[in-house]
Amino acid sequence: MAGNRELTLRFLAEPTDVNFGGKVHGGAVMRWIDQAGYACAVGWTGQYCVTVYVGGIRFYKPILIGHMVEVKARVIYTGRTSLHLSMDVMACDPRDGVYQKTTHCIIVFVAVNAEGERVEVPAWLPKTTEDQALEQYALKLMNLRESIDAEMSAHRNSV
C-alpha cells in the first residue's frame, strides 16, 4: 500500500554547513535533497530506494547560516520500478518567517530488494490539474534526460 506522497524536513542551517563565502555550501543542500527524497521515496514505496538521477538542480538564492530550512519532496511520477520526485528547498530568517525558494530539482529513485534487484513501486495517479501538469513535467524531463544520455554516451565512446 502506498504511503504519503509528500514529505517536508525542517531544520536550522548550522555553522558546519558553511562554505568559504559564509553561506550554506551547495553540497550540503544537495545532501539535504537526497535525504528528504530518500525518506519520501521509502515512505511511498515501503521499499529501500536508491538515487539514480538528480537533474536540473538550480540554486536561486543562497541560504544563510541560522536560517530555517524546509526541504519538500513530492512524488510526481511513478514508473514500474522508479519514482520521480520534485524537490524544493525554501529558507527564511526565523525572525520574520517569510520563506523563499532557494533551490529546485528533480530526483529519481529506484526501489530495490535485499539483493539489489529492482522491485515494482505502487503507482501514483494524478488527480488534480496541478498533478497532471507535474506528471507531464516529469515525462518531459525524462525525454530530455534520454537525449542527454545518448549524447553523453556518444561522447564517452569517442574519447
Q: pLDDT of 12-30, one tens digit each?
A: 999 999 999 999 999 999 9
CA 9 to CA 7: how far, in whole Å?
7
CA 87 to CA 107: how far, in whole Å?
7
Inter-CA distances, 111 with 6, 22, 48, 130, Å: 17, 37, 6, 25
pLDDT band at 1 (very low <50, low <70, confident <90, very high): very low
CA 85 to CA 5: how far, in whole Å?
9
Under CATH, which architecture does the 6-124 domain have? Roll (3.10)
pLDDT band at 136 (very low <50, low <70, confident <90, very high): very high
pLDDT band at 97 (very low <50, low <70, confident <90, very high): very high
C-alpha cell at 56: 536540473
Which residues lie across from 64 on neighbouring strands?
23
**% the chain with pLDDT above 70:** 97
